[in-house]
Amino acid sequence: MYADDNRGGLVPNSGSYYYTNDWVLGVLDFTQQPDNTNTLKITQAKLYPYNNAVEIYHCPDDLSTVRGQLRVRSYSMNAYVGDQTMGWSAGFQTMINRSQIRQPDRTFVFIEEHPDSINDGFFAVDMAGPGVGIVDFPAAYHYYGANLGFADGSAQYRQWVDARTSPTRLRFGVSTPNNPDIAWLQSVSTYRK
């Protein structure tokens, strides 16, 4: 519906902590950051008028808390999809208009992100170079898997086969090459230009 109202343009997904015009606002972490539990950040964002229930931004199986309260968001948007997105790896197409999505049934838009990894609402997989790996990790609280929402409106559950895809305790900055789950995420993420 957002694209219909905006000449095919996709909702902004800049991945900036401070940008105030994205699909979702705020930064999640495990500090005293008020964004962790502030639903106002969701209601002020671009997609809220199309999905005006703050509950849909949080998966009931995500039990991560800050100050004893559940965090407000469990989902992030594909770093290669959305207006004002910058992607993560050079040489891969970023899709800012619905017309650029060549295979909507194979292009994920939303993914449940690991509670230790979720931050800005921008889910990145590094697609280039010898250090190909996961930058933001997918969640694994559904029988070691996560749900993804695709550009055609469908949803798909994916059970991870490699423990490095969504480790119990994340070590940020660790590349996970030769991981079959990374290959799968890459295959449904982007296209080479």
The model's pLDDT over 102-127, given as tens digits with 9 standing for 90+, comes to: 999 999 999 999 988 898 899 988 87
Which pLDDT value is given to residue 134? 80
Sequence-ordered strand ranges (E) for 105-169: 108-112, 122-123, 125-126, 133-134, 145-150, 155-159
Please give the average per-residue pLDDT across 136-143, as a whole number.
Answer: 89
Nearest to 11 by CA among 92, 84, 76, 79: 84
Could you tell me what percent of the chain has a pLDDT over 90? 45
> Any bridge partners for residue 76, and if so which?
111
Which pLDDT value is given to residue 173? 46
- How much is the pTM? 0.86
Q: The tokens of 147 are what? A: 């749900």
Q: Decide if pLDDT at 146 tops 70.
A: yes
Lowest mean pLDDT among 9-13, 24-28, 31-35, 150-154: 31-35
Which are the contacts of 12, defined by CB distance < 8 A and separation ≥ 6? Answer: 19, 21, 22, 23, 46, 82, 83, 84, 85
Please give the average per-residue pLDDT across 151-170, as a whole number.
Answer: 84
Please give the average per-residue pLDDT across 155-167, as a whole number.
Answer: 86
117 in Cβ contact with 32 (< 8 Å): no
Q: Decide if pLDDT at 85 tops 80.
A: yes
Which pLDDT value is given to residue 192? 52
Model confidence over 40-81: pLDDT tens digits? 989 999 999 998 899 999 999 999 888 888 999 999 999 999
